[in-house]
Each structure stands twice: as structure tokens, then as C-alpha cells.
Amino acid sequence: MRRENVNYLVVGIFVSSVGLFLLFILYSLAADQEDTDQYYFVFKNITGIKVGTKITYGGYRIGTVKAIDPIYPNKETRFRIRAEIKKGWVIPSKSIPQIVAPNMLAEQQIDIKEVKSKTNLKANSEYLQEGQSETSFMTMMNDVAKEVKLVSNEKIRPLLENLNKQIDKIGDGLSVQIPMLAENTNKLILNLNQGVEDMKVFLGKDNQASVKELLGNINTASSDLKQFSGKLASLMKKMDELVTENKRGIKQSVISMRKSLETISSRINSIVYNIEQTTRNFNEFSHKIRQNPGLLIGGKSPKERGVYKR
């Protein structure tokens, strides 16, 4: 009897729970059917948007998508979304609808970004301006893949082809140059071998004494040159000391020489004139001696004639 009562109690609890759950679902459905206003959004791309998608305003849910219809303004495809939003909700006319995803795994939803304006959107008649589509992670990856493919086809592939052509040209050039290089290398090796043989002859036993003597002479010359360099340095040092010690005397000598040169320069005209007169007298004397050499033995004193005239 007690077991039957327990079974009835469990069944009653289960039935009551199911009833409460159904009442909760009915209440939720009834809550969703509150009074709403219709608004229209236009998107160029509605990837991830479907009937029943949530519409939020700054993250707060205000409605859902009820219908999606393609339209063709200016011969371009657009998608018109009919949304049902809570009745009396104020939306500025410049607000922007945008497709967003709260996180990477969440479904897309439409969020209305509020933009202040002087007028508000009228329900059931006006369109909100064209919305912004979301750049999802997968879309971005697809765009990146397209760019990579484009770069690969238009940049990397021609570069590789050009590189292959250059490598082929280099290979063709090497195929011609390598035999010539090998031949020149062989000639160089032969010349080196000949040079080594000549060096062996030069440094052979017959020439070792001469080479040793030559090296000794070089060492002696180097030593002598070193000694000469030392003596020259000592001489330069002594000359420097001599000039330093007699600096005043040298300066006085230079001053005296300058004065002497200035004196000679001032009297050079007189000296030149006297030399010229002496030369004339000597010429006249030699002329008379040539005419009468006896004058050297018994000459006569010259008569006074007054002023000499030519």
C-alpha cells in the first residue's frame, strides 16, 4: 500500500512538472506576440540572416526578422528585411542597421546602431538607411585566400618562371665556361709546378751557399741601414738643438744680412757706374798699348788738355 502511494506521488510530480513546462512555453509564446511596429531594412549581403533572427538596439533585443525579399533598385540586387519591433520604440532616422555576431560561435543578428538625428523613423512606412554587412572571420579568411591566390598567380608564379629562365641561362653559360675554366686551371697548375721546380733548383745544394750569403748581405745591409737611420736621427736632433741654442744669433745674422743687402741695393747704381768707367779706361789703355807697346817701358806723363771731349 505504501509503495503504491509512492508511485502515485512520483507520477503526480512528473505530470505537474510537464504542465508547468507547457505553461511556461505558452507564456513565452504569448510574450512574443506583443504589439509590434513594422520597419524595413535593406542590405547588400545578408549572410547568416534568416526569418526569426533577433534584432537588437545597442545589444537589447527589440524584435525579430519576419520576412526577407529581394529587390532590384538601379538594377542592383538588394535584400529588404521586414522587421517587427516593439510598438512605440523610438529609432532616430539616421541610425544604421548592421549585421553582427556577439562572439565567434554565436549566430548573426541585426543590431541597430543609434545615430542622433532631429527626426525619428516612422513605423510601417519608411526604410532605415542601407545596413552594413558583417565581415566575419570566415569571410575575412576567404578574402585573404583570394588575395593569396591572386598574388601567387600574378606575382610569385611569373617570378618563379623568370627565375627558372635565369637559372637555365646560368646553366648554359656554365656548361660553356666550366671546360674553359678547367683548362685554365690545368695550365695554372702546370705553371705552379714549373715554378716549384725552378724554386727547387734555385734553392738546391749548388746555390745554397750563394743564397745564404745573399741573405747574410741583406741582413747586414738592413743593420747598416738601421744604424744610418739612428745616426741621421741623432744628427737631426743635434741640428735642431743647434738652431734652438743659436736662434738669437741666427736672427741677428739675418737682420745684418738684410741691412747689408739693403745698403748694396741702394748703392748698386754707383757701383755699376764706377765699374763701367773702369772698363772704359781699361779698354782705352789696352788700345794704346796695342798701338805703341813701348809705352810700357818709357812712357811720358800725359799733358793737361783740359776737359775731355769726344
**What tens digit of pLDDT does each residue of 141-183 get?**
666 777 777 777 777 878 788 888 888 778 777 777 788 888 8
Q: Note whether residue 269 is domain-resident.
A: yes
Q: Are residues 232 and 250 in the same domain?
A: no
Q: Note whether residue 159 is domain-resident.
A: yes
Determine the 3-state secondary structure of 164 from DSSP. Answer: helix
Pick the more confident residue, 266 or 31: 266
Q: Note whether residue 20 is domain-resident.
A: no
Q: Which tens digits make up the pLDDT trace of 45-82?
A: 888 888 989 989 988 898 899 999 888 888 888 888 88
* pLDDT at site 310: 46
Q: Which domain holds residue 277?
A: 246-291
* pLDDT at site 164: 82
- Exposed/middle/buried for 133, CB within 10 Å: 0-12, 13-18, 19+? middle
* pLDDT at site 5: 64
Count of domains observed in the chain: 4
Q: Percentage of residues in the chain with pLDDT exceeding 70?
A: 80
Q: Are residues 165 and 186 in the same domain?
A: yes
Q: Are residues 130 and 178 in the same domain?
A: no
Q: Note whether residue 2 is domain-resident.
A: no
Q: Are residues 109 and 187 in the same domain?
A: no
Which of 80, 115, 134 is the endpoint of a domain?
134
- Please give the Cα distance from 136 to 134 (Å, whole number): 6
Q: Give me the mean pLDDT over the 102-121 stretch.
A: 81
Q: Are residues 196 and 207 in the same domain?
A: no
Q: Are residues 147 and 174 in the same domain?
A: yes
Q: Note whether residue 184 is domain-resident.
A: yes
- Please give the Cα distance from 108 to 102 (Å, whole number): 8
- Please give the Cα distance from 164 to 162 (Å, whole number): 5
Mean pLDDT rounded to a whole number for the chain: 77
pLDDT at 308 over 70: no
Q: Are residues 83 and 141 in the same domain?
A: no
Q: Note whether residue 3 is domain-resident.
A: no
- Please give the Cα distance from 53 to 84 (Å, whole number): 11
Phi/psi of residue 70, nearest 5 degrees: -80, 140
Q: Note whether residue 23 is domain-resident.
A: no
Compute CA distances 294 → 58, 70, 283, 299, whole Å: 152, 156, 17, 7
Q: How confident is the model at residue 220 (pLDDT cuts 50, 70, 90)?
A: confident
Q: Are residues 91 and 176 in the same domain?
A: no
The contacts of residue 84 (CB under 8 Å, 6+ apart) are 36, 37, 38, 63, 64, 66
Q: Are residues 42 and 104 in the same domain?
A: yes
Q: 62: closest CA among 105, 133, 123?
A: 123
Least confidently predicted of 116-120, 132-136, 288-292? 132-136
Q: Which tens digits make up the pLDDT trace of 221-253?
A: 888 888 888 888 888 887 777 777 777 777 787
The contacts of residue 88 (CB under 8 Å, 6+ apart) are 37
Q: Are residues 94 and 175 in the same domain?
A: no
Q: Are residues 129 and 37 in the same domain?
A: yes
Which of 211, 244, 277 is the endpoint of a domain?
244
Among 74-88, 91-105, 283-297, the range with the most confident prediction by mean pLDDT is 74-88
Q: How confident is the model at residue 18 (pLDDT cuts 50, 70, 90)?
A: confident
Pick the more confident residue, 98 or 132: 98
pLDDT at 4 over 70: no
Which of 134, 160, 184 is the endpoint of a domain?
134
- CB contact burial 24-58 (16+ within 10 A = b; e otherwise): eeeeeeeeeeeebbebbbbbeebebbeeebebebe
Q: How confident is the model at residue 13 (pLDDT cuts 50, 70, 90)?
A: confident
Q: Are residues 233 and 167 in the same domain?
A: no
Q: 70: closest CA among 46, 100, 37?
A: 46
Q: Give me the mean pLDDT over the 268-284 stretch.
A: 81
Q: Note whether residue 303 is domain-resident.
A: no
Pick the more confident residue, 72 or 215: 72
